[in-house]
Amino acid sequence: MGRLAVSAALFSAALIIEAGLVTFLTFWPIGCELRRVDSLLGFLDLYSIDSNLDVWVLMLLHLLALPLCFIRVAGLIRRHRRRYANARMAIYLICYTTQMALLAKAVLVAVFGSDMLSPGRHGESGLIYLFAAILTSLVCVFVEMLSACALVSGWEEGGGRRDEAGEPLLDKTDPAALQRQSTVAMLLSFSAQDTPLLLVAFVAGAVAALGQALIPYYTGLIIDYASIDQRFEDFQRTCLLLVGVAFGTAVFTGIRGGLFTVAMTKLNVRIRTSLFDALLRQEIAFFTSTRTGEITSRLSADTTTVSDQICLNLNVGLRSLTQAAMVLVFMFKASWRLTIITFILIPAIILICKLYGAYYRELAKAVQNELAEANTVAEESLSSMATVRSHAAEDSARAAYQHRLRLFYRLCLKEALGYAAYITCTTFLPNAVNVVTLFYGGNLVLDERMSAGSLVSFMLYVTSLNGALQQLGDVFSAFAAALGAADKVVELIQRAPQMPDPGGLQPGAFSGHLELRGVEFSYPSRPDTRVLSGVSLSVAPGEVVALVGPSGGGKSSIVKLVERFYLPAAGAVLLDGRDVGLYDAKWLKRHVALVAQEPVLFARSVRRNILYGLEIEDGVPAEEVPSSEDVEEAARLANAHDFIMAMPQGYDTDCGEKGVSLSGGQKQRIAIARALVRKPTVLLLDEATSALDSDSEAVVQEALDRMMKDFTVLVIAHRLSTVANADRILVIAKGQVAEQGSHESLAEAGGIYSALVRRQFSKTTSSASLAASGRSSYVNLPSLNTLAPAAGAVPRPKDPL
Ligand SMILES: Nc1ncnc2c1ncn2[C@@H]1O[C@H](COP(=O)(O)OP(=O)(O)OP(=O)(O)O)[C@@H](O)[C@H]1O
């Protein structure tokens, strides 16, 4: 950072002084009183000196510029020493050599006066000098502009690191610079869609800037007419003109502001939509490894920062730029000498802005990160408020949040200090320049080379230019902050999902034969821990297979693989003999329905919760959307119809956020209805009753028992009644199928299952025998999971211990 800052500072200083000089060399002949030029060939005479003060101004400029020009050339030669053949280097060298020759000549003239290079002797070569000066100036400015753009957009970032051949290392090794490139490209492509709107806004802004520049001009005229020339009619006319100009300026300023606000909103909507789309595309592993607070912070805070800051600053930036350009033209018209003096201000302000921009960008990124962390901590507590309350953990939640906020506050303090230093400099510099301008301008008025009105106009221009430049500085740092936030948003938008897209298979006939063949699996967040090792199982159409076994054995992971939340590392998950990945995702989710352990409902009506994923908005053709009768039938099957009808608005009752206004059992029954309304062929039941109290469980279990007769079912069960009802039982332990068979055969086999059953009986006070429980009756017995945790398995909070 240190070396980068120093070289950026030197680069910027040289660049700015050069730009000043280029302008100086180009405008000097134009600004000079033309009566002094007998012919164009006599242009060298333009360097003749009017007063001692002029000599000092010239000397100061040249003395400042020359060493910086040398540093710049030396830096160029060092950076490009292996690339002499490079065309860019050649252009640089020609331009700078010519410029240095011009500068040397200017210094000689400034020191010894124009006699030394008389027009008579050097007229011919002088003309060539003039064209060379203008041409080289233009080329230099163009090349430097490209260079500056590259620096800002990251093409030349990376601390100037180069490989052996002197090529920038960035495209191979610097992800930050690459990210910045794609951020800028994506933002440009987002904004490009509003080009007509932005063009109109820009034209309105240019007209407003012209108006702004005219106001000081007419003010100066009014002062001259009122105090010096005493021309009353002209005075009145100019006053009226000024009112007209002020009104026109206000109208165009309003148009520009309004249009930019519209563009800002459009950009915001576009960024949010793209980001949300990108998030919906991501694989499940992304959501388990990224905290929800961080994601929502990107979606809310960062997208707003990006669109607001970019549009606002584009608006202010363009306005300031056009205003500065217009004001400069008027300033040159009023007094070229004074204009050159004020030009000293530009390098200083731009240099400070550049350095501050780099520093601020880093800080802004850190502040955004810290805020996202604080949000995550708050979100974690707020989204699990019941758990926080039930463990009386409010104090630790508050402490964690306060800790994050303290870190955030410290960073903001740093940011504020940086801002304070920046404001101090940018407030002092313009005032210092005002004093110098007044001093020199006063001298010109005393020498009668400028009218008092022109001096007043000029001072108003200087104020206007200061304002424009200060705003440009603010724009620069705000852009930097917006780019920092945009980097993260664009990174998410461009993130490619780590799972291949599903196929488009939608077979007409589907029997629901489910098979896992030699499946090996690890979670992406823990690639070294094998969760399933060579699991093979098969569920025939219409069969009910129960998965039992110790906690952490891998039962839920099997269901997640069938749902294609994850991909197996080896082996295959097949439906009707074809890989699950080949099926169309929407088709698959209609034919293979899941009732999860902890049902999630959304803040919408009961009806829409049952229809979740099957509405017209989900891309389902109108004729395939289940009817109200279908919804009610599913709810009846799920034992949910009666309690739904008992609610004030029946199926239109709002479930509240995450279904808070319903009990656990009610939520689970709605989730079952949601699965049934799809009329699936395969049902996956993941311990659907484990989180319920015994009353709710009885009702839900009854619904499940009823369902199991009609579908191919893979059920993770820890209730003996469910297990006993199954056609086949698979014992999953340590990621493998340890045993399989019927309840009776396994209970007698003396393995893991019989140990589970034995221990369950010893814990049960009730003497209800398993055999007597029958296939359809429900017996509320303790969990099989509680009996024998697998060695090495991680116990999880959901276990009903
Ligand atoms: N998202 C995840 N990321 C990483 N590891 C996970 C994840 N989910 C589960 N695991 C781990 O995978 C292993 C198997 O978990 P799984 O949920 O499949 O077991 P289970 O047999 O269903 O357990 P339970 O009966 O308690 O639900 C466990 O060690 C668990 O810690």
pLDDT value for 90: 55
Coil, helix or strand at residue 206: helix
Atom of ligand 1 nearest to the CA of 558: 18
pLDDT value for 110: 46
Cα 623 to middle of ligand 1, angstroms: 40
Percentages (nearest 5) of helix, strand, coil residues in the chain: 70, 10, 25
pLDDT value for 46: 41
Indicate the pLDDT class of residue 169, thresholds 50, 70 and 90: very low
Ligand 1 close to Cβ of residue 27 (< 6 A): no
| Atom 7 of ligand 1, nearest CA residue | 523
Cα 799 to middle of ligand 1, angstroms: 12
Indicate the pLDDT class of residue 568, thresholds 50, 70 and 90: very high
pTM score over 0.80? no
Ligand 1 close to Cβ of residue 555 (< 6 A): yes
Residue 634: other Cβ atoms inside 10 A:
23
- Which of the two residues, 671 and 116, has the higher pLDDT score? 671
CB 490 within 8 A of CB 532: no
Residue 764 Ramachandran class (φ > 0 left, ψ -120 to 50 alpha, else beta): beta
Mean pLDDT within 693-707: 69
CB 148 within 8 A of CB 131: no
Ligand 1 close to Cβ of residue 523 (< 6 A): yes
- Which of the two residues, 33 and 657, has the higher pLDDT score? 657
Kindly tell me if the per-residue pLDDT of 335 is higher than 80: no
Cα 787 to middle of ligand 1, angstroms: 17
CB 683 within 8 A of CB 707: yes
Coil, helix or strand at residue 163: coil
| Atom 16 of ligand 1, nearest CA residue | 554
| Atom 29 of ligand 1, nearest CA residue | 552
Ligand 1 close to Cβ of residue 554 (< 6 A): yes
Cα 555 to middle of ligand 1, angstroms: 8
Atom of ligand 1 nearest to the CA of 732: 21
Cα 557 to middle of ligand 1, angstroms: 6
Percent of the chain whose pLDDT exceeds 90: 7
Percent of the chain whose pLDDT exceeds 70: 66
Atom of ligand 1 nearest to the CA of 795: 26
Indicate the pLDDT class of residue 232, thresholds 50, 70 and 90: confident
Atom of ligand 1 nearest to the CA of 799: 26
Instruction: List beta partners, residue 739.
Output: 731
Kindly tell me if the per-residue pLDDT of 32 is higher than 90: no
Cα 540 to middle of ligand 1, angstroms: 25
- Which of the two residues, 146 and 644, has the higher pLDDT score? 644
pLDDT value for 491: 86
Atom of ligand 1 nearest to the CA of 597: 27
| Atom 18 of ligand 1, nearest CA residue | 554
Cα 536 to middle of ligand 1, angstroms: 18
pLDDT value for 485: 79
Q: Which element (helix H / strand E) includes 37? A: none
Ligand 1 close to Cβ of residue 553 (< 6 A): yes
Kindly tell me if the per-residue pLDDT of 551 is higher than 60: yes
**DSSP alpha helices (H): ranges in 194-302?**
195-223, 232-281, 284-289, 292-297
Q: With CA atoms as reference, report the closest residue to 598 among 551, 658, 653, 643.
A: 658
Task: Dump pLDDT digits (tens) for 711-744.
Answer: 888 988 776 766 777 889 999 988 898 888 888 8
Ligand 1 close to Cβ of residue 256 (< 6 A): no
Cα 554 to middle of ligand 1, angstroms: 6
Indicate the pLDDT class of residue 786, thresholds 50, 70 and 90: very low
- Please give the structure tokens belonging to residue 731: 């014992």
- Please give the structure tokens belonging to residue 669: 């029954």
Q: With CA atoms as reference, report the closest residue to 77 among 64, 90, 61.
A: 90
Kindly tell me if the per-residue pLDDT of 766 is higher than 90: no
Atom of ligand 1 nearest to the CA of 285: 1
| Among the ranges given (27-36, 204-213, 247-256, 288-297), the one the predictor scored with the smallest mean pLDDT | 27-36
Mean pLDDT within 166-178: 51
User: What is the C-alpha separation between 761 and 759, in angstroms, rounded?
Assistant: 5
Cα 735 to middle of ligand 1, angstroms: 10
pLDDT value for 741: 87
Task: Dump pLDDT digits (tens) for 510-548.
Answer: 888 999 999 999 998 888 889 999 899 999 888 889 898
User: What is the C-alpha separation between 621 and 464, in angstroms, rounded?
Assistant: 61
User: What is the C-alpha separation between 618 and 501, in angstroms, rounded?
Assistant: 18
* Sequence letter at residue 772: A
Which residues 6+ apart lie within 8 Å of 162 measured at CB? 79, 168, 169
Kindly tell me if the per-residue pLDDT of 492 is higher than 50: yes
Indicate the pLDDT class of residue 307, thresholds 50, 70 and 90: confident
pLDDT value for 353: 63
Kindly tell me if the per-residue pLDDT of 553 is higher than 50: yes
Ligand 1 close to Cβ of residue 785 (< 6 A): yes
pLDDT value for 43: 37
Cα 740 to middle of ligand 1, angstroms: 21
Cα 675 to middle of ligand 1, angstroms: 23
Question: What does DSSP say about strands 544-548 and 532-539: parallel, antiparallel, or unpaired?
Answer: unpaired
Mean pLDDT within 118-138: 44
Task: Dump pLDDT digits (tens) for 611-669.
Answer: 888 888 887 888 888 888 889 988 888 888 888 898 888 888 888 776 677 787 888 88
Instruction: List beta partners, residue 544.
Output: 713
| Atom 5 of ligand 1, nearest CA residue | 523
Cα 495 to middle of ligand 1, angstroms: 26
Q: With CA atoms as reference, report the closest residue to 341 among 426, 435, 428, 427.
A: 435
**What CATH number matches the domain at 514-773, 3.40.50.1820, 3.90.1200.10, 3.30.200.20, 3.40.50.300?**
3.40.50.300
Ligand 1 close to Cβ of residue 556 (< 6 A): yes
| Longest distance between any two alpha carbons in the chain, whole Å | 126
Cα 552 to middle of ligand 1, angstroms: 5
| Atom 28 of ligand 1, nearest CA residue | 552
pLDDT value for 334: 77
pLDDT value for 106: 53
Mean pLDDT estimate for the chain = 73
Ligand 1 close to Cβ of residue 550 (< 6 A): no
Cα 755 to middle of ligand 1, angstroms: 22
Mean pLDDT within 400-405: 91
Could you tell me the end-to-end alpha-carbon distance of the chain, in angstroms, rounded to an integer?
A: 55
CB 155 within 8 A of CB 180: no
- Please give the structure tokens belonging to residue 728: 């086949």
| Atom 9 of ligand 1, nearest CA residue | 557
Cα 516 to middle of ligand 1, angstroms: 18
| Among the ranges given (328-332, 706-710, 746-750), the one the predictor scored with the smallest mean pLDDT | 706-710
Domain assignments of the chain as residue spans, ordered by start: 514-773
Instruction: List beta partners, residue 740.
Output: 730
| Atom 3 of ligand 1, nearest CA residue | 523
Indicate the pLDDT class of residue 247, thresholds 50, 70 and 90: very high
| Atom 26 of ligand 1, nearest CA residue | 551
Phi, psi of 535 (to 5 degrees): -80, 125
Ligand 1 close to Cβ of residue 288 (< 6 A): yes
pLDDT value for 220: 82
| Atom 24 of ligand 1, nearest CA residue | 551
Contacts of 427-434 spanning 24+ positions with Cβ under 8 A: 429/345, 429/348, 429/349, 430/345, 430/462, 430/463, 430/466, 430/470, 433/341, 433/342, 433/344, 433/345, 433/462, 433/466, 434/459, 434/462, 434/463
pLDDT value for 243: 92
- Which of the two residues, 47 and 78, has the higher pLDDT score? 78
What DSSP designation does 227 have?
Answer: I
For 435-467, the DSSP string reads: HHHHHHHHHHHHTTSS-HHHHHHHHHHHHHHHH
- Per-position b or e across 257-290, b if 16+ CB within 10 A of its CB: bebbeebbebbbebbbebbeebbeebbebbeeee
- Which of the two residues, 361 and 530, has the higher pLDDT score? 530
pLDDT value for 615: 85
CB 322 within 8 A of CB 206: yes
| Among the ranges given (32-36, 357-361, 514-518), the one the predictor scored with the smallest mean pLDDT | 32-36
